Amino acid sequence: MRVLVVEDERKIADALKRGLETEGYEVIAVSSGEEGFFCLNSESFDLMLLDLMLPGRDGLEVLQTIRNKGFSLPVLVLTGRDTVEDRVLGLDSGADDYLVKPFAFPELLARMRLLLRRGKHETEKPLALADLELHLPTHQALRNEQLLDLTSREFELLAYLLKHQGHVVSREMLAHDVWKVRERSTPLDNVIDVNIARLRRKVDDPFPLKLIRTIRGVGFMATASDDHAATQ
């Protein structure tokens, strides 16, 4: 998978390149819209990460040009602006998704996976991890063939973690996708922490193999691997 990163902040670009390469992507990072456009014309990419605030021609212009020229690769926009107008403008100009700075790297990975999978009708993985099984239609969770007593919020949270199993899930992702809240706040963080703690009590406490892991400063991950280092 080849990814084109258009980002003028060198440190962010470097970190993205390093992180994505660790994930197994092939990354070309450029620092202006013109360079990005040139790369796109000469090589082929599977996905583009585009910063909206660029020197010279700004991201939106680049995006429109790309779409007008008929490039159909998925574009994930990174923006420092966070107003509804900006989002609408970004999506209207042909972005497939957007992330507001400062974004969480795990969320970037999750969005990228989603964009790359789009169009390919993969059979959805059954939601299961080790001896934990989730039945989505009935909202039932079983571990070691025992029915777990979960609230609907806890079930959704567990399902979300399992969907991203092996990958870190950030608090932003939980806020957006499980709680459907746009902005993060201190109360929300507390609510997430309490729900994770409760989920652990029910899912992990009675069993020797712990499945829900906290990655300090980053987020949470469902994994059966005993490896202490967080594999993403």
Partner 1 sequence: MLLLSNLRIRFTLLYGAALIVTVLIFSIGIYVFVQRMLINQINNHLHKDLATVSGYLLHDQAGLFKLASMGPVHIFRVRDGNRDLVASEQWKNSELTGLLDGGDFAAQPKSITTPSRRLYRVQSQLFPLGEKLYQVVVAHEESNYQRTLNTLALIILLAFPVSVALSLVVGYLIAGRVLSPITTITAKAQEISAENLSARLPVNNEENEFATLATVFNLTFSRLEESFERLRCFTADASHELRTPLTAIRSIGETALQQQDISPECRETIGSMLEETDRLAQTVESLLLLSRADGSALNKEPAELGNLLADVIEFLSVLAEEKKQEINFERLTSLHLSADACMLRRAFLNLVDNAIKYSPEQTTITVKLFREADGSTVVEVGDNGSGIPDAEKEKVFDRFYRLDNGRSREKGGTGLGLSITKAAVEAHGGLVTILDNPVGGALFRVVFPSPKQDS
Between 7 and 46, how does the x/- string for binding to partner 1 read (CB under 8 A)? --x-xx-xxx-xx--xx-----------------------
Among 70, 102, 137, 208, binds partner 1 (CB under 8 A): 102
User: For partner 1, which residue of 165, 195, 220, 221 counts as binding (CB under 8 A)?
Assistant: 195
Instruction: Please tell me whether residue 80 binds partner 1 under the rule CB under 8 A.
Output: yes
Pick between residue 9 and residue 133 the one whose CB is nearest to partner 1: 9
> Minimum distance between the CB of residue 59 and partner 1, rounded to whole angstroms?
14
Site for partner 1 contains 73 (CB under 8 A)? no
The site for partner 1, by CB under 8 A, has a size of 46
Smallest distance from the beta carbon of 185 to partner 1, in angstroms?
6
Q: How far is the CB of 115 from partner 1 (least distance, A)?
A: 19
Cβ proximity of 29 and 17 under 8 Å = yes
Closest Cα to residue 82, out of 64, 102, 100? 100
Q: ∠97-103-107 over CA atoms, to 5°?
A: 65
Show contacts with partner 1 in window 132-161 (CB under 8 A): 153
Taking the complex as a whole, the smallest distance from the CB of residue 97 to partner 1 amounts, in Å, to: 17
Question: Minimum distance between the CB of residue 207 and partner 1, rounded to whole angstroms?
Answer: 23
125 binds partner 1 (CB under 8 A): no
Binding site for partner 1 (CB under 8 A): 9, 11-12, 14-16, 18-19, 22-23, 80-84, 101-106, 153, 171, 179, 182-191, 194-195, 198, 215-218, 228-232
